[in-house]
A and B are shown apart, each in its own frame.
Chain A
Amino acid sequence: EAGVTQFPSHSVIEKGQTVTLRCDPISGHDNLYWYRRVMGKEIKFLLHFVKESKQDESGMPNNRFLAERTGGTYSTLKVQPAELEDSGVYFCASSQTGGLAYPRGHEQFFGPGTRLTVL
């Protein structure tokens, strides 16, 4: 079974440009998450989709970040316009449907990440 995949693996852009990151979750996983690690900091939650709906976007830093998940399959995270402080590694994760009372705790499976460098 394929794991979570992310594209591109690396992206180098100029400040002010736009970048779109893509995440393909594990097939059948309704929950999709975005996280990021900026240099020297901890991994931080950005947002959570359940199918195509945004369940929690409390971690989105500002309105330059737009996440979508049309059709409830893959997701994109667009940064427009990119700033220097957006540099970091963006991780996507997915988990099975189970609801908040899912007895086994539905662990999240992470992709390899996209390393974004804004110059």
Chain B
Amino acid sequence: DAKTTQPPSMDCAEGRAANLPCNHSTISGNEYVYWYRQIHSQGPQYIIHGLKNNETNEMASLIITEDRKSSTLILPHATLRDTAVYYCIVRDPGTYKYIFGTGTRLKVLA
């Protein structure tokens, strides 16, 4: 079973920040949080991942709460091309497999 919970859908105005929440209340101390997105029927695309500290790359920022029970993916200036399903994944360090949940369907509106 997926270890994460995400809202099924969200809308965001183009040019605004999109903040996608994820709950992972059962996360353990050495489990990473990964974010991927899937556009149309393409393969999942890696966005960012983190363990404890907040992370930023050219695509997004990842904010992880101090207790690590939740995180937020931030797309600072959403564009129409960011419309996709976004997955938050917690990977058990004892195994390499990803367990996908249902994700959040983000729709960026013009």
Contacts and interface: CB of A to CB of B under 8 A. Distances in A.
Interface string A77-119: 0000000000001010101000011000111111111010000
B94 A112 contact: no
Contact of A56 (B43, B87, B96, B100): B96
Nearest to B103: A42
B96 A105 contact: no
A115 B43 CA distance: 11
A106 B46 CA distance: 11
B45 interface: yes
Given A91-B44, A105-B34, A107-B49, A43 B96 contact: no
Nearest to B94: A100
Interface string B11-42: 00000000000000000000010101000011
A28 B97 CA distance: 19
Interface residues of A, number: 29
Contacts of B32: 105
24 contacts: A33-B98, A42-B2, A42-B101, A42-B102, A44-B100, A45-B99, A48-B95, A48-B96, A58-B97, A59-B97, A89-B41, A93-B43, A95-B96, A100-B93, A100-B94, A100-B96, A101-B93, A105-B91, A108-B98, A110-B36, A110-B43, A110-B45, A111-B43, A113-B41
Interface of B: 2, 32, 34, 36, 41-46, 49, 51, 87, 91, 93-102
Top 7 nearest A-B pairs (CB, nearest first) are: A110-B43, A43-B100, A45-B97, A105-B32, A110-B44, A107-B46, A42-B100
Given A91-B43, A113-B42, A115-B41, A33 B51 contact: no
Contacts, number: 63
Nearest to A59: B97
A31 interface: yes
B95 A56 contact: yes
B37 to A, nearest CB: 11
Contacts of B100: 35, 42-44
Contacts of B93: 100-101
